A and B are shown apart, each in its own frame.
Chain A
């Protein structure tokens, strides 16, 4: 191609003959141009069909009767309750899972003990178990028909078909996110900085807050953002444990389903749009942090 642009059309054949293609140097890891273009095109088409089109549809459908109609549907009392509930659930589940994630990563990377591999598998379990199954387990364990559940209901603190159950289900589903981000990083960092802090007289708590936490803060933030996105969007497990009581235990994803089943499509898609926007904010935040602190992120990865 380069040959053709450098010489007049008339003697391009001559140029090609005198300069065979094979002399153009190509890096060992570089595929031919047609391959790269095809690959990129396939990815772009897939992204457009699988991600962009549905995303656009959500907003188009939400605004099909105009912005006022969309906003009005959000003013519905049940819709507002759902938004409040989802934000509350995320506000409870995400910090708790950040805490447990750090604890689990710590136990897995800073000590060596029997059964470590088992714990690692256990942390991954929520990724492989169907959310519906997870929800069912919580219902069976804490539902009114179980011993614990019966007692809880009798004392006026029901878990299933109430907010605590939704928190539990959400925490189960999002448990791996923080730990999964932290384990590889903390494994690579080892324990010598912590040991140094101890030999210098630091208490365990001081060591954690002045050495360990600064070293893992970016990975932790990443994990928390992912965890948050998933916590707000979880449907399957929450659908089972919540009982889908409008205005009480219906989270945003549940409310979307309820609206949709009632053919209230503007309300359903507007709610979906809000949920999508919340997710996009999370994603934007993550990207902004990556840009702003790119050097520090790579510095904590290598050293």
Chain B
């Protein structure tokens, strides 16, 4: 799905978290929002997911204005920073949650739900953990379950908030490959937030560098490395 961000701004009280920003995200792209904390990248992601209301501007999904669309109707697969898995439900029930939450008319039958969850568990390469609880999983496994849960609703886009932030370096490398694989298999427009430039450069087709609520530069990883357009980007990459 093509996403168009048109002059979106966000204020929290007197502080501006996001200056008016515009960005066009081509369908099927894998995008990184890269920047230090407080740069507005998570705010932008949450606005796309419908968890935050922009103070001004519009968001267009495939050319249709979706600014006021309810979070439930957006079908945005959202992976939270600490995964926000439901502690009291098994992995199976976590992944099935979105399907069970559908209105009766579009809710799949129980057998169909079981089939889909099994398929998703295979996709994240953890076929045997359906009966376990989140507290019995490692950090990396939790992240993959969160991903499967987000994919279960057949989302139109995938939004990930610091998906590798809480993991150690080795697991982080493995899961990068996992996300790339899932993106390529599903073809979903995927946006992830990170403060780790190596992660952004290695994984994303297109990197959006942000600072102080502004977009500093948009480009392919190689182009940004070769030609940083602003002083901030130059310094951020050098760090």
A: residues with CB less than 8 A from B are 192-193, 195-203, 206, 210-211, 214-215, 299-300, 303
Contact = CB atoms under 8 A, between A and B. Distances in A.
A201 B101 contact: yes
Nearest to B70: A198
Question: Which of A198, A201, A215, A300 counts the most B-chain CB atoms under 10 A from its CB?
Answer: A201
B66 to A, nearest CB: 14
Contacts of B2: none
A215 B134 CA distance: 14
B135 A303 contact: yes
Question: Top 7 closest A-B pairs, CB basis?
Answer: A200-B98, A192-B84, A199-B78, A196-B84, A202-B101, A214-B88, A201-B101
B119 interface: no
Contacts of B152: 200
Interface string B89-111: 00000000110011000000000
B149 interface: yes
A195 B88 contact: no
Given A203-B72, A303-B87, A303-B135, A196 B101 contact: no
A91 to B, nearest CB: 29
Contacts of A299: 87, 135
B71 A206 contact: no
A210 B101 CA distance: 10
Contacts of A202: 72, 97-98, 101
A299 B134 CA distance: 11
Contact of A195 (B51, B77, B85, B102): B51
Given A195-B51, A299-B135, A303-B135, A200 B101 contact: yes
Contacts, number: 66
Contacts of B201: none
B98 A215 contact: no
Given A196-B80, A200-B97, A202-B98, 18 more contacts: A192-B80, A192-B82, A193-B87, A197-B86, A198-B71, A199-B49, A199-B76, A199-B150, A200-B153, A201-B98, A201-B101, A201-B102, A201-B153, A202-B97, A210-B86, A210-B97, A211-B86, A299-B135
Contacts of A198: 51, 71-72
Nearest to B88: A214
5 contacts: A192-B84, A195-B78, A201-B72, A202-B72, A202-B98
Contacts of B51: 195, 198-199
Interface residues of B, number: 27
Contacts of B135: 299, 303
Contacts of B85: 193, 196
A120 B221 CA distance: 50
Nearest to A217: B88
A62 to B, nearest CB: 45
A134 B126 CA distance: 60
A200 B97 CA distance: 7
Contacts of A196: 78, 80, 84-86, 149
Interface string B3-14: 000000000000
A196 B89 CA distance: 14
A198 B153 CA distance: 12
Contacts of B150: 199-200
A195 B101 contact: no
A198 B78 CA distance: 10
A142 to B, nearest CB: 41
A196 B101 CA distance: 12
Contacts of B74: 199
B101 A197 contact: yes
A200 B51 CA distance: 12
B13 to A, nearest CB: 10
Nearest to A206: B101
B88 A197 contact: no
Contacts of B77: 199
Nearest to A211: B86
A192 B51 CA distance: 10
Nearest to B49: A199
Contacts of A206: 101
B149 A200 contact: yes
A206 B101 CA distance: 8
Nearest to A295: B135
B76 to A, nearest CB: 6
Contacts of B86: 193, 196-197, 210-211, 214
Contacts of B71: 198-199
